[in-house]
Structure 1
Amino acid sequence: MERRRLLHAGAGLVAASVVGPVLAPATAQARTADGTGAPGAPGAESRAASTGTAGRCSGPAVSTYGIATYTAAIVGMTVLGGHAYVVARGQNPPLLGEIDLASGKLTRTVRLSRGEGGWAATVSGGQVYVGTYPVPDLYRFDPATGSVAQLGTIGPSGGFVWCLTTAPDGTVYAGTYPRGEVWEYSPSTGVLRNLGIAMPGEQYVRAIAADDRYVYAGTLPLGHIVAYDRATGAKRSITPTPYGGAACLLAAGGRVVGGFGRSVVDLAPDGSDARVIPIPAAERLVDAITSTGDGTVYCVGRPTGTVYRRDGDALVPVAAPTPLDEHRALFPLPDGRLLGGAGSGRLWWLDPAGGGSTTVELIDTAMAGPDPVQSITMGTRGAVHVGGHFSITTHRPAQGTSRRIPVSGEPKQLRTACDRVYAALYPSTEVLELDPDRGSIRSLGFIDNDQQRPTDMVYERATDQFLIASAPPAGRLKGALTLADRARRRLTVHQDVITDQSVMSLALDDRLGTRIAYLAGDTWGGGSVTPTRPSATIVAFDLRRRKVLWEVAPFEGYASLQHIEVLDGVLYGVYKRLAGMWFAMDLKTRTVLRSGRLPSYGELTVQRGQVFASVFGGLVYRIGPGLDEAQPILSGLGDGWYTPPQLAWEPRSWHAWGVSGRELARLRLDPDCVSMNRAGVNPPDEAVLESLLAN
């Protein structure tokens, strides 16, 4: 861990960038489910039954305070002539931007028809092609006319076009998720056809390349390379054994070269003469790869962001133009420089000979826009902290200000302790401590241990440590519980604490003197792998002895728990699979006392002796204590969450902070101030939610 701290010393102090003041408080009168009035405004029956509540139930239930978090994060990227073309993520519909490579200026933007972003981009015949998600559409953009054409949809709702490439004759090829297929588009005929699944059991064609004869598909999670004969459609794996999940691939100089797992693989088109080059120990994978005119191969490692040059069977570091960033693409330019696109929304130009580089921040351009929220927490002195793609924004609503601080990943979880903010990042698993007043950041370390996605975080005040739940990458099952000591900046990781399950959520026992944590599991692990357990379980974990005390499945056959909370000896939970199933379980007898269904799933919180569920679909319910049926509290909040919706409560109050649409919002959640109308609540598309959360 000390070695990693040294490698990431660049994260020690991060200069804050200001995105501008938040808007003055506005009365966002979101409508109730039937479209008749403000959510949370008491109906006639409620008013008659709640004498004395008129004062606290008056006024709007939702007040908004401007955009919660901005992003210019990018996914797809390609180059045509003197321009780079990048696709924003998290903006609905996606935004395609054109950047002049000579000046570094954004010269044009255009909206696609639908979706949240586009991981895939390529060029053919002077046209730019983009593949999108969570509806896997294929688009063509004509730079000469500025027109956009939707060419077709190549998979079900909730799918991705993960990668695109162009063969020497101009034919365009795409790789998809979740069906792991390769598709072909002929610009000359306009015909779009499915070439079939690359490898049974592999959900992702994550990387793709083509030469005169073959199109090559790199799969994930195992990492096969499958060669399709472009003339006959016949296919075969050219990997004697899987190399690890594919990340990038190219076909050049009669070789196929790509990043697979912790290796760069170089082999002949028939799979022979394979050379496997281990990546440097500091890296987890190779994000992007390219070759120059003289055949020199360059690649970018994650998490350090270092550019490497291949020298024989070694990778030699060149420079790190944007340290600690993910990378979407890497291109050689005619002047000998390399052009890279970083996931946070940075473009960089690198001289590989001298190591000098320049960078453009897209957050300062018209590529910036409202970001789906990753996480939220209350801070000191009325501050509200919001996690977005590669950023944490500190809002001070009373002063009408906000401050955006870049971080190296997605803060899936945010919590506060004293005057500090703590973030658990995806995909690096780094745990950060932020001083919001100074904008400075220091690292507590990395969870690592084959983990990727932090899923929950709880502060244990008695020991001044955080408990962090996490899930592994795709193709793995074993999650972890991590204990993060604030003062010592030390992480202790307990992997596979729930056998062959992700740890999705955790809750502390609220009985005095009992140091027990309850952990909720997910049999799907990181996804794209067959579960070995029939049901998601809950375990009781003794924090003193560091051991599991017991394990129970509240409902047999239900695969995934999303979130749990504990109140007065009763554990409340909500399932992701079966979506929206909730329950209350007595911890002494481990029997389910009550259960029911919500329209979807999300996160639970306890406030003033009540248990609340905030779920996808813009809905908040009360589910306990003592309720046989969930009580609707608030509706109409929209789809502003990237992760399962959260609430950040004000102390000793019925008000919580969340989002309405993509605006920061203060929500009145008083159980006595409820609309009794339950009509018009439509569950969200679970396939779309599944795909976005797997992104």
Structure 2
Amino acid sequence: MTNTHLSRRTILQAGGTVGLAAALGLSGTGAANASGLPAGRPGSGPEILDLGPAVVQFGLMSSILVGDVVYIGSRNVEPVRIVAFHVPTGKIVGQTELATGHSIQTLTADSAGRYLYAGILQKSTGPQPNLYRWDLRSLSAPATPIGRIGDRDVRDLSVAPDGRLYAVGGGSATAPALWEYDPATGVIANLGIPDAGATLARAVAATDETVFFGAGSTLGGGGSAGRACLHAYDRASRTFAPVTPTEMLADPSIRDLAVLGDKLLVSSAGSTEQSKVALMDPKDPGTYALATSIGKTAKNFAAIGGHVYFANESGLCDYSVASNSISQVDAGGPALGEIWGVDARDGKVLVTSAYGFIAEIDPETGDSMVTDLGEAGAASTAQTVMGIAAGGGFIYVGGNGVIARRRAKTGEVTNLQAPGEAKDAVVVDGVLYTGQYSSQGIWAYDPRSGKPIHQAADFPAAQNRPLDVCWDAENRLVLVVAQSDTEGGGSFWTYKPRTGAKQCFVNPIDDVQLVRAVATRDGVAFLGGGLSSLEGAGTVVAFDPVAGRELWRIEPQMGAGLAALAVQGRHLYGLTRKGGLFVIDVPKRRIVHRADISALSRGFGALVANRGRIYGVSDTTVFRIDPKTFAVSTVMAGTDGGWYSGSHITNDESGYLYTMRGRNLVRINDHPRR
């Protein structure tokens, strides 16, 4: 793969903690001491310092070219918005804000180029709209809601030549359906669920006669979940027919669809195999040419002559129709990171990167011109965040395509480009190690070296979602646990920085449980399992990370999968996703305490050992656990944590705790009574 590098447009988010703190009107210690909190004394209570927005960048998740304007949908920033980037001038010429959702994964326009449709991702199901329309004749007027599909999230949209809009998505309790919006009547209709085993639909493409529906098990795979399925919906007879290319049936899902001229482009999402691309006759779906792609992703198609350009996880690919072959485009500019838009204009390929820029690439020469969207006028605002780590004088916070590196003494923030998302991380001897989603393995960054962040170790691509990272000081190993979105189950990884040696143990608990949490004591790794849903109990396994074998296991019998594990002294603390707390006496291998703390924690909470105690965080509360009585008390309430995929809490060498309050990073200096 191509290693990412530090942006030549290094971004300074904040000049200093004092200025930020004063501007934000802080509670607790306020801005009195930006370089370090006072040591305090036992019983003086927690001191809380608001460090300001944690990750600031224009986050994006979709784009489409209409005429000379690229319309770009935001990701994980508030408010949700669409910006209009005018290619000839390189400037943002319009913006509209949406009233609901957290991200826009799909945009499409009608054939006349008058209306732009947007489908949003939501935090929860409900009556709020998830479909919007923007009249491109008047960019000063806001986009308006047109209703909602019954699935929580809208993942893809397509407009038929007659103006009817088709939508697909997922995230609800039922399998995804095909939805139709008729602009003449304003009615949104459910046209049916073509595959009851699918967990997510990410692709739709409409012609005059047929709507193609692509789905599978990209999220929530394994077990009885369906695999890649492509269905053709006959608009006249209102019936579905399966038309999945035989070579794609074993893949997790259909990833993308596009009508290009008189052909249909179909791609699958790869997992244990490479992704595939098929060039299909939409009137005769059994007639197609198929090529094996490069990598596990193939999305966002744009045609120039006899070539179709699309994105994979490494950059831009070229599908030659004549030779039915795929090659990687060697673009000479910066790393493109995760790509959310590929369009064709005047013989050039326009690439919209999650790093926050538009690249105009000449496919013949590889020459590229890059425009930073922030410099073009797109407002950079605080994202929801992923993992968090601290040490060596820095605090690191992961976002989408970015890791914010904050200097502890001055508050200066530099954005490091990193592909995907740093789901969790740990700092060891001043070096940052991240578990990088999706299928990116472990990345490393040493701020003293002057070298860019880079991939330190890769692992099987199907083990795509790292969930927890910790350091085994006894064996000098970085430990990571992961979930397989497509195959079910999960894995346990080890990486030795000194030698580069790595190991991967697939399904170390069983063939159903993902591995959500990891902690370590005296060279033994403790793995916490569960299911991707809230149902099903989790198991704790003691594992030898060097020999690669199970030592013993305990069923906590708390009725839920694990959210977090942490070790303090002889005790292993566990937190479940339904708010159960348990404590295991490790030498005796038995549970010595159980409690219901669901009033404080529910969902993906986190735990950390600090100053002789265990601290936890949820979406609402930072709490501590007494090491003798196991009593739980609140440290900070009302966090409303701006997390994207579960709460996190970490500490540095001085014993300061770091977590989120809203979208701001906070530092906590706690002094509980002894």
Q: What range describes the TM-score normalised by the shorter chain of this pair?
A: 0.7 to 0.9
Find the counterpart in structure 2 of residue 268 from structure 1.
Answer: 281
Helix, strand or coil: the match of 1:11? coil
Match of 1:153 among 148, 173, 178: 148
Closer, same or farther: CA 19–247 of 1 in aligned 2, 3 Å:
farther
Q: Which amino acid in the other structure matches residue 257 of structure 1?
A: L
Contact preservation (8 Å) 1:287, 1:326: no
Q: How many residues are aligned here?
A: 624
Match of 1:497 among 508, 519, 526: 508
Closer, same or farther: CA 316–386 of 1 in aligned 2, 3 Å:
closer
Closer, same or farther: CA 253–154 of 1 in aligned 2, 3 Å:
same
Q: Write the distance in 1 (CA, Å) between the matches of 2:327 and 2:464.
A: 26
Contact preservation (8 Å) 1:224, 1:237: yes
Find the counterpart in structure 2 of residue 612 from structure 1.
Answer: 615
Per-residue deviation at 1:550? 1.9
Please state if 1:127 is matched with 2:140. Answer: no
Match of 2:168 among 167, 175, 187: 175
Contact preservation (8 Å) 1:596, 1:630: no
Find the counterpart in structure 2 of residue 251 from structure 1.
Answer: 259
Find the counterpart in structure 2 of residue 202 from structure 1.
Answer: 198
Q: Is there any run of 5+ residues in structure 2 with no aligned partner, and where?
A: 31-39, 124-128, 218-226, 270-274
Contact preservation (8 Å) 1:175, 1:205: yes
Closer, same or farther: CA 13–296 of 1 in aligned 2, 3 Å:
closer
Match of 2:296 among 265, 281, 284: 284
Q: Deviations over 1:406-453 (max 9, x none)?
A: 112211122111122222211132322212243632331212252111
Matches within 5 A, 1:70-469: 70-124=56-110, 125=112, 126-134=114-122, 137-145=130-138, 146-155=141-150, 159-178=152-171, 179-221=175-217, 222-239=227-244, 241=246, 242=249, 244=251, 245-261=253-269, 262-269=275-282, 270-280=284-294, 283-292=295-304, 294=305, 296-320=307-331, 323=335, 325-333=337-345, 335-364=346-375, 365-381=377-393, 383-437=394-448, 438=450, 440-469=452-481
Per-residue deviation at 1:12? 6.2
Q: Deviations over 1:440-490 (max 9, x none)?
A: 3233121225211111111122333201111112x3123111111112223
Q: Write the distance in 2 (CA, Å) between the matches of 1:413 and 1:16.
A: 25
Q: Deviations over 1:233-268 (max 9, x none)?
A: 211211265252122111234432211031112333
Per-residue deviation at 1:627? 4.2
Contact preservation (8 Å) 1:210, 1:216: yes
Closer, same or farther: CA 144–240 of 1 in aligned 2, 3 Å:
closer
Closer, same or farther: CA 189–38 of 1 in aligned 2, 3 Å:
farther
Per-residue deviation at 1:393? 1.8
Helix, strand or coil: the match of 1:354? coil
Q: Write the distance in 2 (CA, Å) between the matches of 1:366 and 1:254.
A: 36
Contact preservation (8 Å) 1:78, 1:329: yes
Q: Write the distance in 2 (CA, Å) between the matches of 1:492 and 1:173.
A: 45
Q: Write the distance in 2 (CA, Å) between the matches of 1:420 and 1:200.
A: 46
Q: Write the distance in 1 (CA, Å) between the matches of 2:562 and 2:316.
A: 34
Closer, same or farther: CA 305–590 of 1 in aligned 2, 3 Å:
farther
Q: Write the distance in 2 (CA, Å) between the matches of 1:486 and 1:553.
A: 33
Q: Write the distance in 1 (CA, Å) between the matches of 2:455 and 2:7.
A: 12
Match of 2:636 among 634, 637, 640: 634
Q: Which amino acid in the other structure matches residue 600 of structure 1?
A: R
Per-residue deviation at 1:205? 1.2
Q: Write the distance in 2 (CA, Å) between the matches of 1:200 and 1:367.
A: 41
Q: Write the distance in 1 (CA, Å) between the matches of 2:353 and 2:80.
A: 17
Contact preservation (8 Å) 1:247, 1:288: no
Find the counterpart in structure 2 of residue 46 from structure 1.
Answer: none
Q: Write the distance in 1 (CA, Å) between the matches of 2:629 and 2:238.
A: 59
Q: Deviations over 1:360-396 (max 9, x none)?
A: 2224442321111212222223x22222211222212
Find the counterpart in structure 2 of residue 684 from structure 1.
Answer: none
Contact preservation (8 Å) 1:307, 1:317: yes
Contact preservation (8 Å) 1:182, 1:197: yes
Q: Write the distance in 1 (CA, Å) between the matches of 2:411 and 2:465.
A: 33
Contact preservation (8 Å) 2:29, 2:49: no
Contact preservation (8 Å) 1:452, 1:472: yes
Closer, same or farther: CA 110–61 of 1 in aligned 2, 3 Å:
farther
Helix, strand or coil: the match of 1:463? coil
Q: Deviations over 1:508-533 (max 9, x none)?
A: 12xxxx42111011233xx7xx99xx
Per-residue deviation at 1:666? 1.4
Q: Write the distance in 1 (CA, Å) between the matches of 2:416 and 2:150.
A: 37
Contact preservation (8 Å) 1:171, 1:184: yes
Per-residue deviation at 1:103? 1.8
Q: Write the distance in 1 (CA, Å) between the matches of 2:72 and 2:245.
A: 36
Closer, same or farther: CA 520–22 of 1 in aligned 2, 3 Å:
farther
Q: Write the distance in 1 (CA, Å) between the matches of 2:122 and 2:413.
A: 31
Q: Write the distance in 2 (CA, Å) between the matches of 1:460 and 1:95.
A: 43
Q: Write the distance in 2 (CA, Å) between the matches of 1:497 and 1:625.
A: 29
Find the counterpart in structure 1 of residue 645 from structure 2.
Answer: 643
Per-residue deviation at 1:187? 2.1
Per-residue deviation at 1:123? 0.6
Contact preservation (8 Å) 2:168, 2:179: yes
**Structure 1 vs Structure 2 CA RMSD:** 2.7
Find the counterpart in structure 2 of residue 45 from structure 1.
Answer: none
Q: Write the distance in 1 (CA, Å) between the matches of 2:5 and 2:105.
A: 30
Q: Write the distance in 1 (CA, Å) between the matches of 2:277 and 2:434.
A: 32
Q: Deviations over 1:552-591 (max 9, x none)?
A: 3211653x21111122322211122xx2222222332433
Q: Write the distance in 2 (CA, Å) between the matches of 1:337 and 1:14.
A: 23
Contact preservation (8 Å) 2:209, 2:236: yes
Per-residue deviation at 1:29? 6.9
TM-score, scaled to structure 2: 0.86
Contact preservation (8 Å) 1:169, 1:212: yes
Contact preservation (8 Å) 1:76, 1:130: no
Matches within 5 A, 1:3-14: 7-8=1-2, 10-11=3-4
Q: Which amino acid in the other structure matches residue 633 of structure 2?
A: Q
Contact preservation (8 Å) 2:6, 2:416: no
Q: Write the distance in 2 (CA, Å) between the matches of 1:309 and 1:234.
A: 34
Q: Which amino acid in the other structure matches residue 666 of structure 2?
A: A
Contact preservation (8 Å) 2:167, 2:180: yes
Helix, strand or coil: the match of 1:147? coil
Q: Is there any run of 5+ residues in structure 1 with no aligned partner, and where?
A: 1-6, 32-36, 40-50, 674-695
Helix, strand or coil: the match of 2:143? strand
Per-residue deviation at 1:217? 0.9
Helix, strand or coil: the match of 2:474? helix
Q: Write the distance in 1 (CA, Å) between the matches of 2:105 and 2:614.
A: 39
Contact preservation (8 Å) 1:306, 1:318: yes
Q: Write the distance in 2 (CA, Å) between the matches of 1:350 and 1:15.
A: 18
Q: Deviations over 1:203-233 (max 9, x none)?
A: 2110111111011111022111111122332
Q: Write the distance in 1 (CA, Å) between the matches of 2:411 and 2:25.
A: 20
Helix, strand or coil: the match of 1:390? strand
Helix, strand or coil: the match of 2:287? coil
Contact preservation (8 Å) 2:465, 2:482: yes
Closer, same or farther: CA 454–199 of 1 in aligned 2, 3 Å:
same
